[in-house]
Chain A
């Protein structure tokens, strides 16, 4: 293994760094509210909401992400010009749809973990559901949601590499280009792994910070 070679190719791989990070951040930005909405729909007393959200989860979690990417990029434009997205935004759309299905489960299980007595105390005080979900239930579920939520985020970060298949110039795509040009896989793959590890490590620390921030004062 040639450490000097790793250092040489780092800058070229890092040209895709910002694309990877932007894929990740946009996907989190869209998937979080979508996941929250899906979670609340699945918890709704209204059947149709539950069914739609349940169907969404069953469908999206039941097929590979690569298929969703292909679908958004290649198949969706057949429904009209408006659906013709750039590779980057196609990847963001696919990652958002995919991530939301998992975040919905994380959020839903967090809400279910809140003591029934909390709902009852809030209702007995005459609060509306909207109010107590926002002020009483969700703030308490955040603590429970953080670990699975960041787990999903770490997965999404790694899965941005799949955007390679629809030609988004993120880090993995640039790395495969180096590999085919240099006829050498060992160092480029190692360099790539180091960068992903650094990014996921940041998320692990973020998780620990969030867990500390939402710990109940005792």
Chain B
């Protein structure tokens, strides 16, 4: 879904800075995400991607800058160079609007899948038990896990746990969803089932900010891709632009390195389809393994394009396109 020019952005980040000790991690990040937009953030390990997401719900407190979500101010620079934060209860209110899915799932291990999903709506939104439960079952169904509702996290595969985690976040009816490398802690053959759920979510119009190393997914699903390095937005634009014909040398070098390390398109070409025993709530009639395969072939296509782009020795500048140092 393309961002609409006349609508205020749902997520608005200006000049976000953050350091840990002497380590300056974010050097002034600007980011605007419109309602319904899917933005992928890519970049080398340690470049600050996770930190950006964690600032968006104040799991990490920025040192400077301004964050506004759905018209509500989370933090902004005040007078005398100090940053002001929203009050405790306002922060909780905004967190209800911001769903987060973590790299390592962070499901509550002492609760079943269903209990994981109903806990927050009941506790935070005071939802009625029967209503919350019905909605949770609906959500578990939409991630293909209605038959796992009474299972505990440790009884499920990583791919299933992560889909429960997505359902848990969705149960709060968030305005925006944050995904932090949500496939990197699962076996590669289970990544597809998570990506498929995210793709369906994107198609339903969810606003998403996705930190990912899955270039196929970034290419296929996102409206916009941001390349981050050393806490700066080095390059951004349509997925096809940034991934297909990157302008900055750092972006090119990164993409080349990533795609060389992910030979999954060839390897998985003749592997069996993923978990067909499961009933998927949404996407009925569409063969999910086909969709996953199409994501994977996207990676192969991108690699070819990239190889072509980086071997033609056209001159490029190394200046960041925006938020210069």
Contact = CB atoms under 8 A, between A and B. Distances in A.
Interface residues of A, number: 20
Contacts of B124: 125-127, 131
Interface stretch (B3-11, B98-106, B293-301): B98-106
Nearest to A136: B108
Contact of B102 (A120, A136, A216): A120
Contact of A126 (B96, B154, B168): B96
A118 B152 CA distance: 15
A121 B152 contact: no
A118 to B, nearest CB: 6
B263 interface: no
Interface in B35-61: 57, 59
Contacts, number: 66
Give the dominant DSSP class at A's interface: helix
A115 interface: yes
B22 to A, nearest CB: 23
A121 B106 contact: yes
Contact of B169 (A120, A125, A139): A125
Interface string B75-113: 000000000000000001101101110101011111000
Contacts of A124: 57, 59, 95, 98-100, 169
Nearest to B54: A120
B127 interface: no
Interface in A117-148: 117-118, 120-128, 131, 135-136, 139-140
Contact of A218 (B95, B107, B119, B155): B155
16 contacts: A115-B106, A118-B108, A120-B106, A121-B100, A121-B102, A125-B95, A125-B169, A126-B95, A127-B119, A127-B124, A128-B92, A136-B108, A136-B119, A216-B109, A216-B154, A218-B152
Given A117-B104, A127-B119, A136-B108, 9 more contacts: A121-B100, A122-B108, A123-B57, A125-B168, A126-B92, A126-B96, A131-B124, A140-B109, A216-B154
